[in-house]
């Protein structure tokens, strides 16, 4: 009878989903492979803010950040192996490759370590994947475009890094959106690699041959470059979907102040690193009902709220959002069907 | 006819022929629409490749094994230095440009120091230098994009009758570089070292000094390029120079400069840079997918080099 009671209490504890089991002696490591752009810098900042507080509050014992350079798979694999030896209880990882790190990740799992990947996810089944719903983001871009350009017209698409799952997902979403809005037609497509310079160059080369463009659908990090390319070519300014970068929102604000320019902005929040941290904490907490693939929302700004967010983004940086434990619990709940 | 044959014998002519053919193919596809705009865009973008290409050309001409792989990192750091010094202030443009060039020169000098003092092959020395430079850049720039002053930004976009001012200035600069290469003691020394370093040394050329100057020149041009790129692309960032690792070497080779050193020409760098941008224009306009685009770029570059090289073998 007593045993039943304990089990019952245990079940109730699990169901409530809060940090009742103790993770205060657990150590979580963060394995990162690159820090050279504004997105990664914001990712590290958000992670540091959230984890510092978590350590100070005694939620976990340690949350250390390890960054290797240059997106190199072998270096990161060696780093993961080191983290295993150092006795961490969980590893949050932004992986350099979706499959090349699977061996190291499997070793970690076999050693009883919880692995949570995000942004650069790993396909190894034992790991958790925190994935942003990029397909919906692409679809939403066209939905928003339909609001700003109700008459429809020609669209230019800027693709991301070729061969990545993110590029494929956003592209598929955009195609779905265009299929639902036949008033739009994609007349050109270039590769911008989520990079302002690459995007500006690519758009500059294709613009002379394109008919009038009413809108640009893109993947984030490329909106400002596209705007510059249109200006340099002396072409009329289209509706350019933005990607939460400070320069993009700043440009949007300048245009809005000038003539009421309207657009929409969305991207993966770099702070999704903090969400991955909380997922790791929840798994360490003893929750067994967490799906290994977690679809989480993207961060979007509209005409009404982007100006409020702008001052909070560091100059030249990207908008982030620090997730709380409650956010993580809610996101997990939304994924349990 | 004789003059045409003379022209075809020039190793640089093939890059211009390639550029012209690619441009004609593109406007044939669009039915003549946008041809002028393509030239303007090509000139604006080719400038940046030409500037580093000339630096790389001098280095490669020094002979086998000489190459500057630190250019991308150098460009990235100089772009951040220029933008931080200018700090959005039009009055500081000249100071910022000088700072970028000085930063580039320091990188170039450090490269040669590694090669000379530690006797490391240039390919390793410049590559390892680039890791150090990139780390400095990441901690200096914090991965943030710093915006150029409005005056500098619009300068990089100025056009006269569709021809960017920057392109005109770069043409003047390349004429100067061609004179330096063919008519001045410095340039002749570089060529002599590239043909036979021992013979050059016996002939009384101060080999060490010339090599030092050449690496410093390449660094300085990388620094200048970084500042200009940050102006044109409206912001410095660590990755801004990434594509110039391969592009700077590609324009040298496509332009008809010998990879083995000792034989160089400046006009080919322009032809090759225009060719590369127009190739991107053509493939973007045709709307081929990213994979096919990379494949075709590789095949076409191989084709042009073979055409240019095949001609040389006949002579």
Confidence at residue A66, expressed as pLDDT on a 0 to 100 scale: 92
Record: contact A159-B290, CB cut-off 8 A? yes
Contact call for B41 and A208, based on CB within 8 A: yes
Contact residues, chain B, for A37 at CB < 8 Å: 143, 237-239
pLDDT in tens, A244-271: 999 899 999 999 999 999 999 999 999 9
**Lowest-pLDDT range, A134-148, A254-268, B129-143, B299-313?**
B299-313
Higher pLDDT, B238 or B50: B50
Q: What is the percentage of chain B residues whose pLDDT exceeds 70?
A: 96
Do the chains contact at B38 and A191, CB–CB below 8 Å? Answer: no
A247 and B145: CB-CB below 8 Å? yes
* Average pLDDT estimate for A27-40: 87
Provide the shortest C-alpha distance from residue B145 to chain A (in Å).
4
Residue B309 pLDDT class (50, 70, 90 cuts): low
pLDDT of residue A7: 54
Report how many helices (DSSP H) and strands (DSSP E) chain A contains, helices first: 12, 12
Residue A194: closest C-alpha in chain B: B239
Q: What is the 3-state secondary structure (H, E, C) of chain B?
A: CHHHHHHHHCCCHHHHHHHHHHHHHHHHHHCCCCHHHHHHHHHHHHHHHHHHHHHHHHHHHCCCCCCCCCHHHHHHHHHHHHHHHHCCCHHHHHHHHHHHHHHHHHHHHHHHHHHHHCCCCHHHHHHHHHHHHHHHHHHHHCCCCECCCHHHHHHCCCEECCEEHHHHHHHHHHHHHHHHHHHCHHHHHHHHHHHCHHHHHHCCCCHHHHHHHHHHHHHHHHHHHHHHHHHHCCCECCCCCCCHHHHHHHHHHHCCCCCCCCCCCCHHHHHHHHHHHHHHHHHHHHCCCHHHHHHHHHHHHHHHHHHHHHHHHHC
Q: What is the pLDDT of residue B313?
A: 44
Q: Do domains A2-126+270-298+322-335 and A134-267 have the same CATH topology?
A: yes
- The answer, for B44 touching chain A at a CB cutoff of 8 Å, is yes
Residue of chain A whose Cα is closest to the Cα of B292: A162
Angle of helix B122-141 versus helix B93-117 axis, rounded to 10? 140
Chain B residue with CA closest to A70: the answer is B131
Least confident of A14-18, A32-36, A258-262, B221-225: A14-18
**What pLDDT, on the 0 to 100 scale, is given for residue B260?**
87
Q: Does B238 touch chain A (CB under 8 A)?
A: yes
* Coil vs helix vs strand at A216: strand
CB distance B231 to B152 below 8 Å:
yes
Average pLDDT value for residue range B147-155: 91
CB-based contacts of B160, cutoff 8 Å, min separation 6: B168
A163 pLDDT band, cuts 50/70/90, is: confident
Asked if A102 and A76 touch (Cβ cutoff 8 Å), the reply is: no
Q: How many CB pairs under 8 A join A and B?
A: 117
- Residue B80, pLDDT > 80, answer yes
Give chain A positions within 8 Å (CB) of B289.
162
Helices A38-56 and A272-284 sit at what angle, rounded to 10 degrees?
A: 40
B34 in contact with A, Cβ within 8 Å: yes
Report percent pLDDT > 70 for chain A. Answer: 93
Mean pLDDT, rounded, of chain B:
90
Nearest C-alpha of chain A: how many angstroms from B280? 7
Reply yes or no on whether the pLDDT at A74 is more than 60: yes
**Nearest-CA distance B303 → chain A (Å):** 22
Distance (Å, whole) CA A269 – CA A267: 6
pLDDT for res B1: 61
Contact by Cβ (8 Å): B165, B158 = yes
Closest residue, chain B, to A40 (C-alpha) = B143
**Stretch A75-99: mean pLDDT, rounded?**
93
Taking Cα atoms as reference points, which of A112, A27, A110, A120 lies closest to residue A72?
A: A120
Asked if residues B265 and B255 have their Cβ atoms less than 8 Å apart, the reply is: yes
- Pairwise CA distance, residues A162 & A165, whole Å: 9
Triad B198, B200, B205: Cα angle to 5°: 125
CB B48 within 8 A of CB B229: yes
CB contact under 8 A, B234 and A202: no
Instruction: Identify all chain A residues contacting B38, using CB atoms and an 8 Å cutoff.
Output: 205, 208-209
Q: Per-residue pLDDT tens for B225-284?
A: 999 999 999 888 888 898 899 899 999 998 988 888 899 989 999 999 999 999 999 998
pLDDT at B314 over 70: no
pLDDT at A124: 94
Q: Say if A35 is an interface residue toward chain B (CB within 8 Å).
A: yes
Query: Tens of pLDDT along B166-203?
Result: 999 999 999 999 999 999 999 999 999 999 999 999 99
Determine contact: B37 vs chain A, CB below 8 A. Answer: yes
Shortest Cα distance, chain A CAs vs residue B301, angstroms: 18
**The pLDDT value given to residue A199:** 92
Q: Enumerate the residues of chain A whose CB falls inside 8 A of the CB of residue B145.
A: 38, 196, 245-247, 316
For chain A, the domains span 2-126+270-298+322-335, 134-267
Q: Do A209 and B30 touch (CB under 8 A)?
A: yes
Contact status, residue B68 vs residue B126, Cβ threshold 8 Å: yes
Q: Report chain B residues whose CB lies below 8 A from the CB of A191.
A: 290, 293
Q: Which pLDDT does position A244 carry in this prediction?
A: 93
Question: Which pLDDT score is estimated for A129?
Answer: 95
Q: Report, as an integer, the average pLDDT of B60-66.
A: 92
**Are A232 and B290 inside 8 Å of each other by CB?**
no
Give the model's confidence band at A10: pLDDT under 50 very low, under 70 low, under 90 confident, else very high. low
pLDDT at B300 over 90: no
Q: Which two tokens stand for residue A305?
A: 């709220």
Residues of A in contact with B131 (CB under 8 A): 69
| Size (chain B), residues | 315
Task: Give the model confidence (pLDDT) of A167-218 as tens digits.
Answer: 999 999 999 999 999 999 999 999 998 888 889 999 999 999 999 999 999 9
CA–CA min distance B167, chain A (Å): 15
Inter-chain CB proximity A202 and B280 less than 8 Å? yes
Q: What is the pLDDT of residue B310?
A: 52
Q: Please, what is the Cα angle at B36 between B30 and B39, to 5 degrees? A: 105
Mean pLDDT, rounded, for B97-115: 96
Give residue-wise pLDDT tens across range A269-282: 999 999 999 999 99
Q: Does domain A134-267 have CATH number 3.40.50.2300?
A: yes
Question: Predicted confidence band at A105 (pLDDT cuts at 50, 70, 90)?
Answer: very high
For domain A2-126+270-298+322-335, which CATH number applies: 1.10.2020.10, 3.30.110.40, 3.40.50.2300, 3.30.1490.20? 3.40.50.2300
B285 touching A (Cβ < 8 Å): yes
Residue A8: the pLDDT is: 52
pLDDT score at A3: 57
Mean pLDDT of B64-82: 94
- Would you call A267 helix, strand, or coil by DSSP? strand
Q: What's the pTM value of the predicted model, to 2 decimals? A: 0.83
Q: What is the DSSP letter of A96?
A: S
For chain A, say whether B85 makes contact (Cβ under 8 Å). Answer: no
Q: Which of A36-45, A194-203, B216-225 has the highest mean pLDDT?
A: B216-225
């Amino acid at each position: 009878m007593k045993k039943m009671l304990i089990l019952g209490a245990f079940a109730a504890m699990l169901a409530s989903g809060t940090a009742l089991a103790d993770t205060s002696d657990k150590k979580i490591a963060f394995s990162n492979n690159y820090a050279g752009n504004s997105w990664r810098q914001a990712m590290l900042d958000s992670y540091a803010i959230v984890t510092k507080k978590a350590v100070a509050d005694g939620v976990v014992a340690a949350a250390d950040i390890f960054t290797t350079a240059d997106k190199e798979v072998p270096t990161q694999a060696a780093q993961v192996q080191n983290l295993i030896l150092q006795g961490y209880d969980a590893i949050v990882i932004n992986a350099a490759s979706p499959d090349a790190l699977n061996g190291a990740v499997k070793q970690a799992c076999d050693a009883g370590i919880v692995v949570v990947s995000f942004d650069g996810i790993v396909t190894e089944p034992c790991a958790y994947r925190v994935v942003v719903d990029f397909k919906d983001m692409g679809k939403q871009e066209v939905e928003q475009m339909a609001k700003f350009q109700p008459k429809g017209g020609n669209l230019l698409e800027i693709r991301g890094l070729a061969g990545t799952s993110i590029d494929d997902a956003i592209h598929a979403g955009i195609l779905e959106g265009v299929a639902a809005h036949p008033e739009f037609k994609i007349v050109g497509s270039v590769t911008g690699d989520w990079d302002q310079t690459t995007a500006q160059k690519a758009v500059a080369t294709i613009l002379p041959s394109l008919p009038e463009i009413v809108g640009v659908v893109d993947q984030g990090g490329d909106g400002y470059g596209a705007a510059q390319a249109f200006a340099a070519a002396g072409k009329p300014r289209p509706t350019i979907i933005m990607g939460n970068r400070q320069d993009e929102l700043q440009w949007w604000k300048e245009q809005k102040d000038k003539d009421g320019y309207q657009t929409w902005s969305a991207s993966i929040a770099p702070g999704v690193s903090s969400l991955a941290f909380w997922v790791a904490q929840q798994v360490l907490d003893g929750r067994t009902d967490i799906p290994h693939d977690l679809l989480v929302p993207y961060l979007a700004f509209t005409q009404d709220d982007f100006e409020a967010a702008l001052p909070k983004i560091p100059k030249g940086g990207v908008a982030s959002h620090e997730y709380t434990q409650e956010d993580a619990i809610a996101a997990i709940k939304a994924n349990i069907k | 006819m004789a003059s045409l044959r003379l022209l075809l014998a020039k190793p640089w002519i093939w890059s211009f022929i390639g550029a012209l053919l690619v441009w004609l193919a593109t406007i044939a596809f669009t039915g003549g629409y946008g041809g002028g705009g393509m030239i303007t865009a090509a000139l604006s973008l080719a400038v940046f490749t030409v500037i580093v290409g000339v630096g790389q050309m001098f280095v490669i001409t020094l002979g086998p094994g000489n190459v500057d792989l630190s250019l991308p990192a150098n460009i990235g750091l100089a772009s951040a230095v220029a933008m931080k010094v200018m700090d959005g202030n039009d009055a500081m443009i000249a100071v910022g440009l000088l700072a970028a060039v000085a930063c580039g020169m320091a990188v170039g000098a450090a490269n040669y120091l590694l090669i000379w003092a530690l006797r490391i092959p240039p390919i390793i020395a410049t590559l390892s230098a680039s890791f150090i430079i990139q780390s400095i850049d990441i901690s200096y720039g914090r991965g943030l994009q710093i915006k150029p002053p409005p005056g500098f930004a619009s300068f990089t976009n100025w056009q006269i009758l569709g021809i960017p001012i920057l392109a005109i200035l770069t043409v003047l600069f390349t004429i100067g570089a061609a004179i330096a290469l063919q008519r001045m003691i410095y340039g002749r020394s570089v060529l002599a070292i590239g043909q036979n370093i021992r013979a050059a040394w016996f002939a009384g050329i101060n080999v060490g000094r010339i090599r030092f100057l050449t690496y410093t020149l390449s660094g300085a041009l990388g620094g200048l390029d970084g500042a200009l790129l940050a102006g044109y692309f409206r912001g410095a960032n660590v990755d801004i120079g990434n594509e110039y690792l391969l592009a700077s070497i590609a324009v040298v080779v496509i332009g008809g400069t010998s990879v083995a050193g000792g034989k160089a020409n400046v006009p080919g760098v322009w032809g090759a840079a225009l060719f590369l941008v127009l190739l991107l224009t053509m493939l973007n306009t045709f709307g081929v997918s990213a994979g096919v685009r990379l494949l075709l770029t590789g095949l076409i570059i191989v084709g042009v080099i073979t055409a240019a090289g095949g001609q040389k073998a006949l002579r």
